[in-house]
Amino acid sequence: MEKLLEGKCEACRADASLVSAEERKILMPQIPGWDVIEVDGIEQLTCSYAFKDYLSGLDFLKKVAHLAEEEDHHPEIVLEWGKVTVSWWSHKIKGLHKNDFIAAAKTDALFSE
């Protein structure tokens, strides 16, 4: 099984396939703590991270922003006092692509640093 952390996001075309139910069964265990939610009919991966204060959360947000630029894949990031929530989904296909799972795993790795 390919490890998500070793993956690289690929350019997502409008005709790319959504992650299948079978693929999801393999990928979700690699990103414990992430949930699949639906917003306006579009599935997204989302996870919240706790911090001791606002500036620690801001530092993490900046790391995720740099990751997004490196991968050329951009999440929604919400910063609150003591919490950062990150949501990944593929805008072009209006749902979940393998890129989202790769980015989620890399986000977890940033938090663990």
User: How far from the centroid of its chain's Cα atoms is residue 11's Cα?
Assistant: 15
Q: What is the pLDDT of residues 82-94, one digit of tens each?
A: 999 999 999 999 9
Q: At what angle do helices 98-112 and 54-71 cross, to 10 degrees?
A: 140
Taking the C-alpha atoms of residue 88 and residue 47, their distance in angstroms, rounded to an integer, is 9
pLDDT at residue 12, as a whole number: 73
pLDDT at residue 10, as a whole number: 73
Domain limits, the chain: 18-112
pLDDT at residue 1, as a whole number: 46
Q: What is the mean pLDDT of each run of 10 residues along the chain (113 residues)?
A: 72 82 93 96 97 98 97 95 97 93 96 92
CATH code matching the domain that covers 18-112, chosen among 1.20.120.550, 3.30.1360.20, 3.30.450.20, 3.40.630.10 = 3.30.1360.20
